Amino acid sequence: MNISLLFALLAGAILVWWLLVRRLQTKPWLEQGIIEEQGAVDAPAPRVGLWVFLAVVTSLFGLFAMVYTMRSEFPDWRSLPDPSLLWVNTGLLILGSIALQLARGAAARDDLAGLKRNLTAGGVLTIAFLVGQLIAWRQLTTAGYYMATNPADAFFYILTGLHGLHMLGGLWFWGRASLTVWKGLEKSTMTEVSGVRLRVQLCSVYWHYLLLIWLVLFSLLLST
């Protein structure tokens, strides 16, 4: 319950912060004429949309983490062995995140070769991570840890599965960005180039965030 209260406090704090920052204490009935305010924050709409989505993702995984800790305190909880493969997978995901960060830098410098190289590396590393997670599942099932064996096992599959699904969603956007980069960037106009920049940027943000979530989940899995 503590975590959920913390979560609620955090949500409240964000709201209060927002209140202060946005200066909701203006008196609109006294002000006339144009007031310049281009968007609440200085960022393109897709970027803001991604932040809002990450808030939803945080809520989802935060609630799962809360339920996980609550359920793990029950006496029937039998921890499962943590496959050492998970460490390798974690490494792959960290590398993938770094590669996308490099791709982002390359896109900013208009370095097309670097962009292609790093973008591909990021995707391939992520796919390797997902394959690694599947192999970890196989290892556990052959060792006799099934979904219904114990809530600890069920949670393991749900949390890794849900995280994997979010990675897959990210890969879809990665795939679309890669297609643009590989197919037509040489002969494209400036606006499309800036579009690719933004897409790669958003991919890297999303990857870093999912890496963070994975690290939290992984430590949670290790700690019980």
Partner 1 sequence: MAYVAIADSDPHMHDPDTFITKYIWSQDHKVIAVQYSITAILVGVVALTLSVLFRLQLGFPDTFSLVQPNEYYQYVTMHGMIMVIYLLTALFLGGFGNYLIPLMCGARDMVFPYMNMLSYWVYLLSVIILLASFFIPGGPTGAGWTLYPPQAISPGTPGIDGGIVLMMLSLAVFIVAFTMGGLNYVTTVLQARTRGMTLMRMPLAVWGIFVATILGLLAFPALLVAAIMMLLDRVLGTSFFMPEMLSRGEILDYGGGSPILFQHLFWFFGHPEVYIVALPAFGIVSDVLSVHARKNIFGYRMMVWAIVAIGALSFVVWAHHMYVSGMNPYFGFFFATTTLIIAVPTALKVYNWILTLWRGDIHLRVPMLFAIGFLFTFIHGGLTGLFLGNVTVDLPLSDTYFVVGHFHMVMGVSPVLVVFAAIYHWFPKITGRMFHEGLGKVHFWLTLIGTYSIYLPMHYLGILGVPRRYFAYGDTEFIPESVQTMNAGITVAALIVAAVQILFFINVIWSLWKGPKSGPNPWKANTLEWLTPDTPPKHGNWGPRLPEVHRWPYDYSVPGEKEDFIPQTEPPRAGVIAGRDHGAHD
User: Where do contacts with partner 1 occur on this chain (CB under 8 A)?
Assistant: 1, 4-5, 8, 11-12, 15-16, 19, 22, 24-41, 43-46, 48-49, 52-53, 55-56, 59-60, 63-64, 67, 70-71, 74-76, 147-148, 151, 154, 158, 191
1 or 113, CB closer to partner 1? Answer: 1
One DSSP character per residue, 47-98 reads: HHHHHHHHHHHHHHHHHHHHHHHHHHTSTT-------THHHHHHHHHHHHHH
113 or 187, CB closer to partner 1? Answer: 187
Pairwise CA distance, residues 212 & 93, whole Å: 10
Pairwise CA distance, residues 155 & 49, whole Å: 29
Instruction: Kindly state the smallest distance separating residue 106's Cβ from partner 1, in Å.
Output: 26
Instruction: Kindly state the smallest distance separating residue 95's Cβ from partner 1, in Å.
Output: 29
Instruction: Kindly state the smallest distance separating residue 191's Cβ from partner 1, in Å.
Output: 8
26 or 179, CB closer to partner 1? Answer: 26
12 or 184, CB closer to partner 1? Answer: 12
Lookup: tokens for 152: 């600890």
Instruction: Kindly state the smallest distance separating residue 18's Cβ from partner 1, in Å.
Output: 8
Is the CB of residue 204 less than 8 Å from the CB of residue 57?
no
Pairwise CA distance, residues 138 & 60, whole Å: 26
Pairwise CA distance, residues 26 & 15, whole Å: 17
Instruction: Kindly state the smallest distance separating residue 188's Cβ from partner 1, in Å.
Output: 14
73 or 186, CB closer to partner 1? Answer: 73
